[in-house]
Every structure is written in structure tokens, then in C-alpha cells.
Chains A and B, each alone.
Chain A
Amino acid sequence: MNTKIRWIRKNLFKGYFNTALSLSLITFFLWFFYNFFNWLVIDSVLLGDADTCRQASGACLAFIVDKTRFIFFGFYPESETWRPITAIVIFFIIVFYSRLKTRWNRRLLFNWMYCGLVIWLLMRGGYFGLVKVETNNWGGLPLTLMLATVGMIFSYPIGILLAMGRQSKLPLIKYLCIIYIEMIRGVPLISLLFMSSVMMPLFLPEGFSPDKIMRAQGAIIMFISAYMAEVVRGGLQAIPKGQYEAADAMGLTYWQKMKLIILPQALKIVIPPTVNTAIGMFKDTSLVIIIALFDLMYTTKASMQDSNWLGFSVEAYLFVALIYFIFCNLISRMGRLFEKEFGA
């Protein structure tokens, strides 16, 4: 106790200036949290309609309660809500199961494919007596999670190949990779999404048009791959030359060398920037709004425009911010867990 008081004295109240600064900041935080707490809890309206909310001075939680289903699942038929919920639960189970390095084997890969298939069948329906739900009606959290997860699963290996290609001694491969990476990094994701949505159908034969979600997914994978490639390249360059030489000197082939010696070390080093890219991508999926896919951000905005509930955008934004924060934080925690697992 004594040491704590000493710590406070030394760090917060040393001299007039420090004391004044500490006191004013403490006052500000108290004032802020007092008001925020009042707004969120004491004066808020949990049950009721828009009129009840407008008469109260606090947050309109009733709006969130009313719109939660729509924000999470968009235009997915209300009677079928259990399906996306189940899909998300399956997704969480497989992610949670995959957290330990010791479980990373071929069987886990098949489990992921199996879960992906189940989730797809569950969401899509049209089989086993499930009502068919077109992908146009998918939305909200499942869509955001799908775009981000599938995006990462594909762009990670593609990024690794691009990074390896960029270091290749064969000029053709090397320059193709450089051109790809620099071109993709040179344009915004929005323009790629536009191209995938507007231009791509023009080049494809009549009647053959993968649906909009697939095209957006393709654009995201293309985009993130280029960034992943540069992340991985950083790792490849951090490996001492001696490691490459020792592997060469043993007579390992190029692919054996990369698989057994270089990549295990390089990918471990780049876990932090990889997680960074993953978080960035999770948030970037909200850009699909501009090609009219109803992701989490879109469903939130659409809720605000409901004429019955006009004027509660603060609540809606805070709510969706909380959801994004929870998921980004989960990704970040997962990254730290991997760092520990791999002893990086």
C-alpha cells in the first residue's frame, strides 16, 4: 500500500505542473464517464418505441434491440435466422479448435473444408428441406466473416507464392510477380471491387456470371494477396543468408528448402504484420457496401434509415463499432497466441 502511494506521489503529483495536469485529467475522465454512464444506463430506454426514446435524454437501446436481428443478418429470411446463427457457431468452434499448433495437420485441413461446406449448404439451403436463400439476401455478420475468413485463407498462400516469386532467379516469374504486386498495391480496393462487379461481367460469356459475393471475394483475395506478399517478403529477407546456404549445401531442392527451412522461420517472424493485415482486411470488407453487398456496415446504415427509427445513428454507430472491436480484438489475441505457440 505504502509503495502504491509513493508511486502515485512520484508519478502524478511531482511539482505544481504535474499536479495540475493530473487533477484536470482526472476531473475530465470522471466527468466523461459520469455522463456516458448516465446516457448509456441511467437515462436510457431499453423497452419502448421511437417516441419513448425521443422523450428520454439517454441512449435509445430499444432501437438496438429492435434492429439487432437485421444488423446481424440483413435480409436473410426472419424465419430462417437459426441458420446463420448455427453457421456462426460452427465457424467459432472450428476457429477455437484450430488455436493450438499441435492440431495443425492434414486432418484439420479436411475439417475446415468440411465445415466450410456445411456452412455453405446451411446458408444456401435448397437441400434437405431447407428453403433456398439466394446469396443476394445474405448479409450482416455472416457475410463480413465470410469475406474476411475466406479472403485470409486464400490470400495467405497466394501471398507466400508471390513473395517467393518476387525473389526468383527466373526473370519472367520475378517480373510477373513484381508487376502484379505493384499494380494491385497501386490501386484502391474500391476500384478493384468496382471492376469485379461492373467490368468483369462484360468480359465473361453470356449466362456465365459468378454471383456478386464470389466476385467481391475474388477482388478482396487479389488485393490482400499483394499485401501479404510484401509482409512475407519482409520475413524472407530477415532470414540470414547462411540458412539458405546451409540448405543448398545439403542438396535440398528449392521447394524442400523453402518448406522445411526458410518459410517456417520467416512466417514466424512476420506473425505481427500478418495479424495487422488480417485486421485491416476485416475492416476493409465494409467497402463491399459500394457494390451493394449488405455487410455488417450496410445493415447498420440501413437500420438508421428506417423511417420509424430516425435519429438514432449514434447508438447504431457505437453498436457496430463494438462488434468490429470485438472481432478485431479476437484476431489480435489470436495473433498473440500464435506468437506464443511458435515461440516467436
Chain B
Amino acid sequence: MEPLIKMNQVSKYFGDFQALNKIDLDVNPKEKIVICGPSGSGKSTLIRCLNRLEEHEEGTITIDGIELTDDVKNLEKIRAEVGIVFQHFNLFPHLTILENLTLAPIWVRKTKKKDAVDLAFHYLKRVQIAEQAHKYPGQLSGGQKQRVAIARSLCMKPKILLFDEPTSALDPEMVKEVLDVMVQLANEGMTMLCVTHEMGFAKKVADRVIFMDEGKIIEENTPDEFFGNPQHQRTKLFLAQILH
């Protein structure tokens, strides 16, 4: 089976600071990967490189057979296939929830407005928030906003969904509602890369857990092995700190 994402010797610098150091990573269709690591380890940078919100300087990234380059047409095609859910939601505050969801299908996919609205309600129902369709993002709670953001990504019917610390900005009581949606998505076979510290989520759905530090992939294993039998000293230290 051809991998959906192929990263080959990818490096990325911010000035003198090396954020990614020769990353090799293949992701197969329907695979769920959880990426964790201390702050500044490059995990967000890694997934942001996958839809070119950050540009990598060395190595190659191939998504669904198309290489990520400066070619704008290719880039727009890839971005339409790769959804991302941000830590701070990044909903468009001047548009209603419904307009947030229909915008990309109408303008990028050229879907008819009526079909886009149907699609939007379909996904809003799936994240159990259809009754809020005509409100503005400012009127929703953090958990609701993040569920809307997930639905917004799904409306583009992406092949891959990236999550950049989707629960880190939420009040504790709202984390579960978002994780529930993510688990449901995972069970339906979405290809997912999640940067998260929710280890319960990792244990439940991940096919692989990746531990990063200083721009490198330190360890990569199944959740059982990763949590039960970590190989590296730094992994052990990290797990000890976050599992209390």
C-alpha cells in the first residue's frame, strides 16, 4: 500500500534554530498517529509543514503522490485534501457557524450553495451542534468552537486531518466533548495526525505514538509498547512528568 504522506529527510530552520532535524516519516491511509514531546520539540512544526503553513528547507514531503513545492496550484490542491484543526480554533468571527462551514466547499470545491449547506448540517449534526448554525463563533463556548472547527475541516472531505494541540486551549470540562468527536472520527477510518498530550486518547485510538525532542523523532512505537515499555531515557523522563 502506497503511503499517504511521505517525509524524507525533512529539515526546517527558524533562523539559527533547527526546528526539524532530518525527519523520516511515512503515514499509511487510515493510520492514526499521535505525536507528543516537550514544548519546542518541533511537533507542531512537523504537522504544519504537511500543508505548508511552514516551509521545509531540506528533504521532500509527498502528500497523496504530489510533492509539496512552491507551485501554488499544487499547494492549493494539497491544502484542499489536508484539513487542520488549530489549538485556537481560528474560526472566522465575522461569519456565522454555517458560513464558516460552507465557505471552503463553495469557493474551493465549487459546490452549489444548497449542497454545501446540506453538507454543513450533516457534519454539524455529527458534532452535535446543528442548533447553533446561525450563531456567530463569539457566542459559543471553547468546546463548541473546537467542534465547529472540526466540522469545518470535515466539510472539505479531507483525506488527512491534522490536529495541532486541539484541546490545549480548552477549559478542562470541555476537553471530553472534543475528544469524543475525535475518537468517533478515528473509528470511522480517518487518517489522523494529532499533536496532543491527551495520553488516554493516544492509548485508545493511536496506531503509532511518536515522541519528539529537539527536532528529531526519538521513539516511535505502538501505544502499548510506548507507554508500557519506553526505550529511551528521554521518553521515560517525559512520560514520568506528564503521567504524574
Given A251-B77, A253-B76 in contact, is the A246-B90 Cβ separation under 8 Å? yes
Contact B94 A249 (CB under 8 A): no
Tally of A-B Cβ pairs under 8 angstroms = 53
Given A242-B86, A256-B107, A260-B107 in contact, is the A248-B94 Cβ separation under 8 Å? no
Query: Can you name the residue of chain A whose Cβ is closest to the Cβ of B80?
Result: A251
Given A243-B92, A265-B93 in contact, is the A249-B107 Cβ separation under 8 Å? no
Contact B104 A250 (CB under 8 A): yes
Separation of A242 and B156 alpha carbons in the complex (Å): 19
Report which of B77, B79, B88 forms a contact with A249, defined as CB distance below 8 A.
B79
- Residues of chain B within 8 A of A256, CB atoms compared: 107-108
Given A260-B103, A265-B93 in contact, is the A251-B108 Cβ separation under 8 Å? yes
Q: How many residues of B contact A (CB 8 A)?
A: 22
- Residues of chain A within 8 A of B78, CB atoms compared: 251
Contact A246 B92 (CB under 8 A): yes
Instruction: Please tell me if A245 contacts chain B, counting CB pairs below 8 Å.
Output: yes
Most chain B CB within a 10 A radius of its CB, from A240, A243, A251, A260: A251
Q: How many residues of A contact B (CB 8 A)?
A: 18
Give min CB distance, A261 to chain B, whole Å: 6
Query: Can you name the residue of chain B whose Cβ is closest to the Cβ of A256?
Result: B107
Separation of A202 and B155 alpha carbons in the complex (Å): 60
Separation of A83 and B42 alpha carbons in the complex (Å): 71
Query: Can you name the residue of chain B whose Cβ is closest to the Cβ of A254?
Result: B72
Contact A252 B94 (CB under 8 A): no
Contact B92 A261 (CB under 8 A): yes
Contact B51 A249 (CB under 8 A): yes
Instruction: Please tell me if B84 contacts chain A, counting CB pairs below 8 Å.
Output: yes
Report which of B79, B86, B94, B108 forms a contact with A268, defined as CB distance below 8 A.
B94
- Residues of chain A within 8 A of B107, CB atoms compared: 252, 256, 260
Separation of A265 and B107 alpha carbons in the complex (Å): 18
Instruction: Please tell me if B83 contacts chain A, counting CB pairs below 8 Å.
Output: yes
Query: Can you name the residue of chain A whose Cβ is closest to the Cβ of B155?
Result: A250
Query: Can you name the residue of chain A whose Cβ is closest to the Cβ of B87?
Result: A242
- Residues of chain A within 8 A of B77, CB atoms compared: 251
Separation of A99 and B219 alpha carbons in the complex (Å): 62
- Residues of chain A within 8 A of B82, CB atoms compared: 249
Give min CB distance, A265 to chain B, whole Å: 5
Contact B156 A250 (CB under 8 A): yes
Contact B79 A248 (CB under 8 A): yes
Instruction: Please tell me if A126 contacts chain B, counting CB pairs below 8 Å.
Output: no
- Residues of chain B within 8 A of A265, CB atoms compared: 92-94
Contact B108 A252 (CB under 8 A): yes
Contact A243 B90 (CB under 8 A): yes
Separation of A344 and B33 alpha carbons in the complex (Å): 42
Separation of A242 and B92 alpha carbons in the complex (Å): 10
Q: Which residues of B contact A (CB under 8 A)?
A: 51, 53, 76-80, 82-84, 86, 88, 90-94, 103-104, 107-108, 156
- List 29 A–B pairs whose Cβ atoms lie within 8 Å, in order of A's numbering: A240-B90, A242-B86, A243-B92, A245-B86, A246-B90, A246-B91, A246-B92, A247-B92, A248-B51, A249-B51, A249-B53, A249-B79, A249-B83, A250-B79, A250-B80, A250-B104, A251-B78, A251-B79, A251-B80, A251-B108, A252-B104, A252-B108, A256-B108, A260-B103, A260-B107, A261-B92, A264-B94, A265-B92, A265-B93
